[in-house]
């Protein structure tokens, strides 16, 4: 597979202008799904964080289950490779806490805020997008100092759960998908 | 039972197959904001901005991910129009029910939330898409921790806002 398809895929992935077009097309699809799923709405996201509307969890967990199976299959066939984000307590946990505060106060995240703008939410445009741009600029300004102090603290293994456990991916994917389906079934059973 | 959230999740899951296959990358959104703020800063302050260590890592340019975020706006717009749900709104109804109908208050709160989110997403190295969907579907350890922290702190702050601060 790698020998037969790898060259064409490589060329496709390195074609910058084609990639920008693909990004736009995939973004339109992403926006359609986010809007259809209802997660571009402040009320739905806040409802999730206040634990009375589980739409966000339903969308995310079903996307993760479906995505996991296909992406690992592509990797197995040699048609894709994983792209694992590194982490540490200093980045993942501290940054995650700040993100969570923003999540609750803004009521959108960086993807859904763009969808909210598309659906006409002016608070998402003039508050959310403008704020995220300012926040990103603040981080860029602070980055050298943060990198020298907190960002490297408390290493988190730069790997996946199967690699950490030393098992084949399928040994984690199968139970994970079953677990996700069980959680979603439980959410429906409870009527959340 | 409403199947719409699951169909939306199915669509996003399948979309992630195509991003990995055709573009060799996971779905993510927050880097695009960092590149945009770098482009704005560059337009105001000139090329010296490019010397910032963070912008050497994330060069200010319109790339795949930037177009992806633009695409989200377009896709949501088309869908909202077709659904008949497109409406220019300043104050979402849940916010209005708890904090009143002042658009200035909502704008200020959203701005503060946006700053925290922009700062936190770059600090954590990803957002609800990059860590929350793409990272977890790859079974990345840092991403599972990140998404747990996003939701736990988000839930705590939402309960404080709506339970304690709301009049």
Closest CA to A169 of A78, A75, A79, A85: A75
Decide: pTM greater than 0.90. yes
Helix, strand, or coil (residue B89): strand
CB < 8 Å to B123, chain A: 91, 94-95, 98-99, 139, 146, 151
Q: Which helix (H) or strand (E) holds A189?
A: helix A169-189
CA distance A3 to chain B (A): 15
The sign of the dihedral angle between the CA atoms of B85, B91, B92, B97 is negative
B 95-154 near A (Cβ less than 8 A): 95, 103, 106-146, 148-154
- 């209005």: which residue's tokens? B96
With vertex at residue B66, the alpha carbon angle to CA B113 and CA B119, rounded to the nearest 5 degrees, is 25
Measured distance CA(A106)–CA(A164) in Å, rounded: 35
pLDDT tens readout for residues A21-60: 999 999 999 999 999 999 999 999 999 999 999 999 999 9
Question: Helices A55-76 & A16-37, crossing angle to 10 degrees?
Answer: 140
**Taken in order A124, A125, A126, A131, is the CA torsion positive or negative?**
positive
Per the prediction, chain A carries an average pLDDT of 96
Q: Is B72 touching A (CB cutoff 8 A)?
A: yes
How confident is the prediction along chain A (192 residues), in pLDDT tens digits per residue? 455 556 899 999 999 999 999 999 999 999 999 999 999 999 999 999 999 999 999 999 999 999 999 999 999 999 999 999 989 999 999 999 999 999 999 999 999 999 999 999 999 999 999 999 999 999 999 999 999 999 999 999 999 999 999 999 999 999 999 999 999 999 999 999
Judged by a CB distance cut-off of 8 A, whether residue B54 touches chain A is yes
**Phi/psi of residue B6, nearest 5 degrees:** -70, -40
Question: Read out DSSP for A105-169?
Answer: HHS--HHHHHHHHHTTBHIIIIIIIHHHHHHHHHHHHHHHHHHHTTTTSSEE-SSBHHHHHTS-H
Contacts of A176 (CB under 8 A, 6+ apart): A65, A68, B139
How large is the average pLDDT for residues B46-50?
93
Contact flag B144-A37 (C-beta cutoff 8 Å): no
């Amino acid at each position: 597979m790698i020998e037969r398809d790898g060259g064409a895929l490589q060329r496709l992935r390195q074609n910058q202008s084609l990639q920008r077009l693909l990004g736009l097309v995939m973004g339109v699809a992403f926006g359609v799904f986010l809007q259809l799923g209802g997660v571009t709405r402040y009320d739905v996201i806040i409802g999730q964080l206040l634990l009375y509307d589980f739409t966000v969890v339903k969308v995310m967990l079903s996307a993760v289950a479906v995505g996991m199976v296909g992406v690992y299959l592509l990797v197995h066939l040699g048609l894709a490779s994983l792209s694992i984000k590194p982490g540490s307590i200093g980045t993942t946990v501290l940054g995650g806490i700040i993100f969570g505060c923003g999540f609750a106060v803004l009521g959108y995240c960086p993807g859904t805020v763009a969808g909210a703008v598309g659906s006409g939410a002016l608070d998402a445009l003039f508050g959310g997008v403008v704020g995220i741009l300012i926040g990103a600029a603040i981080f860029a300004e602070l980055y050298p100092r943060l990198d020298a102090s907190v960002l490297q603290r408390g290493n988190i293994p730069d790997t996946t759960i199967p690699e950490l456990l030393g098992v084949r991916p399928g040994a984690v994917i199968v139970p994970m998908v079953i677990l996700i389906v069980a959680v979603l079934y439980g959410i429906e059973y409870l009527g959340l | 039972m409403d199947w719409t959230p699951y169909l939306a999740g199915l669509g996003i899951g399948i979309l992630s197959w195509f991003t990995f296959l055709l573009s060799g990358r996971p779905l993510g959104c927050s880097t695009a904001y960092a590149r945009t703020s770098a482009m704005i800063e560059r337009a105001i302050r000139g090329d010296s901005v490019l010397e910032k260590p963070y912008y050497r890592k994330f060069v200010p340019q319109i790339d795949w991910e930037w177009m992806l975020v633009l695409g989200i706006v377009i896709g949501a717009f088309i869908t909202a129009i077709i659904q008949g749900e497109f409406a220019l709104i300043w104050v979402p109804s849940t916010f209005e029910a708890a904090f009143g109908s002042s658009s200035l208050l909502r704008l200020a709160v959203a701005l503060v939330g946006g700053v925290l989110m922009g700062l936190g997403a770059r600090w954590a190295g990803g957002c609800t898409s990059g860590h929350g969907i793409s990272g977890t579907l790859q079974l990345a350890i840092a991403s599972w921790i990140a998404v747990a922290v996003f939701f736990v702190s988000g839930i705590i702050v939402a309960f404080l806002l709506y339970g304690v601060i709301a009049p």
